[in-house]
Structure 1
């Protein structure tokens, strides 16, 4: 979606909600592509670090220790912990990645996303934006990648795993990542073509 605009993630500031698999690996991939993720969250609250979230620490806290995200602020001096929703934090950023839960963004929060200058929103959770929020994105020209398309990677990787198992193959991480990239690019191309045919 960003590439189709002649843009890239390099140098972008990203706000992410969640601290599960989708959020952790979105943070890692964003960092690999040159972006800076400044928030992650769990059901109690969120971490804000203007210097960038270290996904390895989040991974240690959430996947190994099974702790709360508040622990991050105790380990990283530049991080702040706040109770509540990350979507109520008023900061400037470029990309919103809601990766936590259904209906986590309402109309008021979507209006704040628009005021904060976000140009792109791509859903990693299942239906994290309610209908009123989606209307706000559209009214403000925010490019919107709905979860049905943007979050299809999880289902795609499961299908790739089933293919490997049924054929008794063993693909490398790089091979799976390349297959996934092709699948996601195809989903985007089909979505873009459908959008152009409507307008």
Structure 2
């Protein structure tokens, strides 16, 4: 018996993402979206200690050495075509104040999930929604994905505003979808198609 998935061509061929160079994008407020570097490790440690980022994103605390390892793993995951992670930083400074990326990349199925967070120093300038839009354009136009989604707790209206401002309509609510320190949270599901 033949597996029916064998007759469905991959939406994005293996190797396309690994062959691409991770781009840099200018964002509003003099911000940049750029690849993470090993010297960004202290900013990642600070972010993972931030109470809001910890609550909504659930990262494990990091030492600087573990942060360097995590950044190296993000670069490796670009080449293995599993994730694409950018730092949000002021153009005139090297210290990142945020992260925007694609996780759960499924090239064969043509989908991925946007993730993002911003430290207090980067909030309020519109960089997150513009960064999400830039990553979305890259995912559709350069990588060739079909569908990109965003999920967030229904108790996090800031993430909802970013998603809708970046053109991700709300598709529905996933009940009890993610466990936070204060219990199970319902999650909003937003998504865009390449054809939108």
Q: Same fold (TM over 0.5)?
A: no
By relative contact order (CA 8 Å, sep 6+), the higher-ranking structure is 2
Q: Which one has the bigger helix percentage?
A: 1
Normalised to the residue count of structure 1, the TM-score between the two structures is 0.31
